[in-house]
Amino acid sequence: MRQTKPLITSVSEDVWSRASHRHALLRGLLEENQRNHLSVKLVASDLGISVQHTYRLLKKLREEQTTASLLPLPRGPRVGNRRLAVNIEKIIEEVIKKIYFKREKPTLKQVHRYIECECQKSGFNVPSMKAVR
C-alpha cells in the first residue's frame, strides 16, 4: 500500500532544503545526454544514498518533475488504518470486558484461547497472541 505524500506546508526547512539539494543533483542527471552508471553512482555518493535509491528518486522526478516528489514519505501505517477487521476487534473487546475485567484475571493465553473459540464460532480468522496483547 503506497503512503500518502506529506503536506508541503508541514515539512521542516531542513527536510525541504535536502529535497531541493536532491532535486538539483538529480535534475542534472536527467538532463545528461550520456547518463551512465558511474554518474548515478557519483550522485548517490554525494547524496549519501544507495545507487538503487537514486534510480528510484530519478524515476519519481521524471514522472512528477517537482521538488515535492522527492520529500520522504511518512513511515509506518497510515493514521486510522486498522490491522484487524472490525468484527474481530469487537470480539476481542467483548472477551476482555467479559472475562478479563474480573478480580481473578485470567492469563493472556487463556484470554487468547477464549478469543480463538469465539472467532472460530463466528467464522473469522483468529488473531495472533501479539494482536490480542
Q: What b/e sequence results for 91-112 when a residue is b if at least 16 CB atoms lie within 10 Å of its CB, and e otherwise?
A: bbeebeeeeeeeeeeeeeeebb
Domain residue ranges of the chain, discontinuous segments joined by +: 8-70, 86-132
As a whole number of Å, the CA-based R_g of the chain is 24
Pick the closest to residue 118 from 86, 94, 82, 97 (CA basis).
94
Distance of CA 61 to the CA centre of its chain: 21
What are the pLDDT digits (tens) for 62-89? 888 888 888 877 777 777 777 888 888 8
Judged on CB neighbours under 10 Å (0-12, 13-18, 19+), 57 is buried
pTM of the predicted structure, to 2 decimals: 0.52
What are the pLDDT digits (tens) for 19-29? 888 899 998 88
What are the pLDDT digits (tens) for 103-114? 888 888 999 999
Measure the CA–CA gap between 111 and 74, rounded to whole angstroms: 35
Measure the CA–CA gap between 119 and 129, rounded to whole angstroms: 13
